[in-house]
């Protein structure tokens, strides 16, 4: 009688949240320092100092009626203009303010984009492992999520699997590079092959496919040799779903944007669809103060060097203990192969050593567990002996 789909969604807590809640209780029992919580993707480094300074300056110096008033539904023009200009200078695109639509973060960027593109019965493709809410977002928009298996050795795209998954119903492909939960980054060669496959599909079937790049982790890459190609330079029907949650350590403030590639022939319709979907979902405008903030700190990031150090420490120690890990090129997650086939059982056994790791099953990828290393380096040091004992318990 109520909406059973949404009631069901509200009743089943994600296992990530479940594990986090277990951790809270366990910490109360045995002490904060004795539980090694690697469950959540909540940035552990503070926002850069420019954020607090800019917020205070805005509050002190702006007329509150203008500062806290409605912006246009697309977002304040000046803010969108700055983002378009910055994107053009970084990536050589030719965007203007009216290609940008300010959102309440990456989740909103995705739901709005999907509701702009999708009709009931469409399919949306993504790659394993993937952020579990993709399925929820696609379903609400009326589509089925089709999860395509990637290469076992490195989680890069398996193009034969992709070709088999493409169908006349395919409306969009979501990529997430750097990836949650495995940290893989798609290089330029991969992107080129991907767009080639999509173009071939469109040529053969007449069905255009939109490429949605979910980019909350774009700024979190750790090596000079790693670069994240900008999809608009490779594919016309591309849409970037961006968020400042991780780059500026502002995940609770819900600020991000959608950038629609103005090189696509039906740009006007797609952008209108974004505006319409934003209205229908109840997003009147993105939070105004944080829009103004972005105009001042659009090129700043939190100090992400901690994540690199955490990654390096964990990768080398876990490898030494005998774990098989895929060294992540970005984001702040490490995917570790479960020493037993059942990753849920591994996650349960890890709890005996006070280690909270999320089973990969939630990300469409059994046999692995996710370690969120957006944590204090000291916790990693305290946790390493537990990781060692956990692995030894399988011998």
- Restricting to residues 230-289, which ones interact with its own copies according to CB under 8 A? 249-254, 266, 269-289
Contact 244, 292 (CB under 8 A): no
Residue 131 to residue 364: CA distance in whole angstroms: 9
Binding flag, residue 60, its own copies (CB under 8 A): yes
| Binder of its own copies out of 19, 108, 318, 357 (CB under 8 A) | 108
Binding flag, residue 30, its own copies (CB under 8 A): no
Classify 228 in phi/psi space as left (phi over 0), alpha (psi -120 to 50) or beta.
beta
- The DSSP symbol for 218 reads T
| Binder of its own copies out of 69, 92, 265, 385 (CB under 8 A) | 69
Contact 222, 308 (CB under 8 A): yes
Question: Closest approach of Cβ 93 to its own copies, in Å?
Answer: 22
**Helix %, strand %, coil % of the chain (to 5):** 45, 15, 40
Question: Closest approach of Cβ 351 to its own copies, in Å?
Answer: 22
> Does the N-terminal peptide bond of residue 68 adopt cis geometry, omega within 30 degrees of 0?
no
| Binder of its own copies out of 64, 152, 203, 395 (CB under 8 A) | 64
Question: Closest approach of Cβ 245 to its own copies, in Å?
Answer: 8
CB neighbour burial string for 119-147, b if at least 16 within 10 angstroms, e if fewer:
eeebbbbbbbbbbbebbbbbebbebebbb
Binding flag, residue 208, its own copies (CB under 8 A): yes
Closer residue to its own copies in complex, CB, 147/239: 239
Secondary structure (3-state) at 269: helix
| Binder of its own copies out of 39, 44, 93, 170 (CB under 8 A) | 44
Classify 308 in phi/psi space as left (phi over 0), alpha (psi -120 to 50) or beta.
alpha
Binding flag, residue 130, its own copies (CB under 8 A): no
Closer residue to its own copies in complex, CB, 71/176: 71
Q: How far is CA 91 from the centre of its chain?
A: 20
User: What stretch of H or E contains 123?
Assistant: strand 123-127
Residue span binding its own copies (CB under 8 A) among the ranges 67-75, 152-160, 231-239, 378-386: 67-75
Question: Closest approach of Cβ 318 to its own copies, in Å?
Answer: 25
CB-CB neighbours of 81 under 10 Å: 16
Residue 193 tokens read as 């092959």
Residue 227 to residue 10: CA distance in whole angstroms: 38
User: What stretch of H or E contains 7?
Assistant: helix 4-11
Q: How far is CA 157 from the centre of its chain?
A: 17
| Binder of its own copies out of 16, 51, 84, 145 (CB under 8 A) | 51
Question: Closest approach of Cβ 372 to its own copies, in Å?
Answer: 13
Question: Closest approach of Cβ 285 to its own copies, in Å?
Answer: 6
Closer residue to its own copies in complex, CB, 270/314: 270
| Binder of its own copies out of 124, 136, 173, 212 (CB under 8 A) | 136
Q: How many residues bind its own copies (CB under 8 A)?
A: 82
Question: Closest approach of Cβ 141 to its own copies, in Å?
Answer: 8
Closer residue to its own copies in complex, CB, 259/317: 259
Q: Which of residues 291-330 bind its own copies (CB under 8 A)?
A: 291
CA dihedral 279, 280, 284, 287 (to 10 degrees): -110
| Binder of its own copies out of 105, 330, 339, 364 (CB under 8 A) | 105
Binding flag, residue 290, its own copies (CB under 8 A): yes
Residue 118 to residue 281: CA distance in whole angstroms: 14
Binding flag, residue 46, its own copies (CB under 8 A): yes
Q: Which of residues 137-166 bind its own copies (CB under 8 A)?
A: 137, 139-141
Question: Closest approach of Cβ 312 to its own copies, in Å?
Answer: 22
Binding flag, residue 6, its own copies (CB under 8 A): yes
Contact 145, 134 (CB under 8 A): yes
| Binder of its own copies out of 1, 29, 203, 395 (CB under 8 A) | 1
């Amino acid at each position: 009688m109520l909406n059973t789909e949404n009631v069901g969604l509200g009743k089943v807590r994600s296992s990530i949240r479940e594990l986090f809640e277990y951790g809270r209780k366990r910490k109360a029992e045995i002490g904060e320092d004795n539980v090694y919580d690697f469950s959540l993707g909540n940035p552990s480094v503070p926002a850069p100092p420019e954020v607090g300074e800019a917020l205070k300056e805005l509050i002190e110096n702006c007329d509150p009626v203008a500062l806290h008033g409605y912006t246009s539904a697309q977002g304040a023009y000046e803010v969108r203009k700055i983002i378009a200009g910055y994107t053009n200078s970084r990536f050589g695109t030719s965007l203007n303010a009216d290609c940008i639509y300010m959102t309440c973060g990456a989740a909103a960027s995705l739901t709005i984009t999907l509701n702009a593109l999708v009709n009931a019965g469409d399919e949306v493709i993504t790659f394993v492992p993937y952020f579990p809410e993709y399925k929820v977002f696609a379903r609400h928009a009326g589509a089925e999520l089709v999860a395509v298996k990637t290469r076992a050795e490195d989680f890069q795209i398996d193009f034969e699997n992709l070709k088999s998954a493409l169908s006349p119903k395919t409306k969009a492909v979501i990529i997430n590079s750097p990836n949650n939960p495995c940290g893989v980054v798609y290089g330029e060669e991969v992107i080129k092959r991907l767009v080639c496959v999509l173009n071939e599909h469109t040529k053969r079937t007449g069905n255009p496919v939109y490429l949605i790049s979910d980019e909350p982790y774009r700024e979190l890459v750790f090596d000079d040799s790693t670069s994240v190609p900008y999809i608009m330079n490779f594919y016309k029907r591309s849409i970037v779903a961006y968020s400042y949650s991780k780059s500026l350590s502002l995940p609770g403030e819900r600020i991000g944007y959608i950038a629609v590639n103005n090189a696509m022939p039906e740009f006007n319709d797609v952008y209108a669809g974004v505006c319409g979907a934003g209205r229908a979902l109840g997003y009147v405008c993105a939070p105004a103060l944080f829009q103004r903030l972005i105009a001042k700190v659009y090129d700043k990031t939190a100090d992400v060097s901690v994540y690199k150090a955490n990654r390096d420490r964990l990768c080398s120690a876990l490898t030494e203990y005998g774990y098989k890990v895929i060294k992540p090129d970005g984001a702040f997650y490490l995917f570790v192969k479960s020493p037993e086939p059942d990753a849920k059982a591994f996650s349960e056994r890890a709890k005996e050593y006070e280690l909270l790791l999320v089973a990969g099953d939630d990300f469409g990828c059994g046999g692995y567990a996710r370690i969120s290393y957006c944590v204090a380096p000291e916790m990693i040091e305290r946790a390493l002996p537990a990781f060692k004992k956990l692995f030894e318990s399988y011998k």
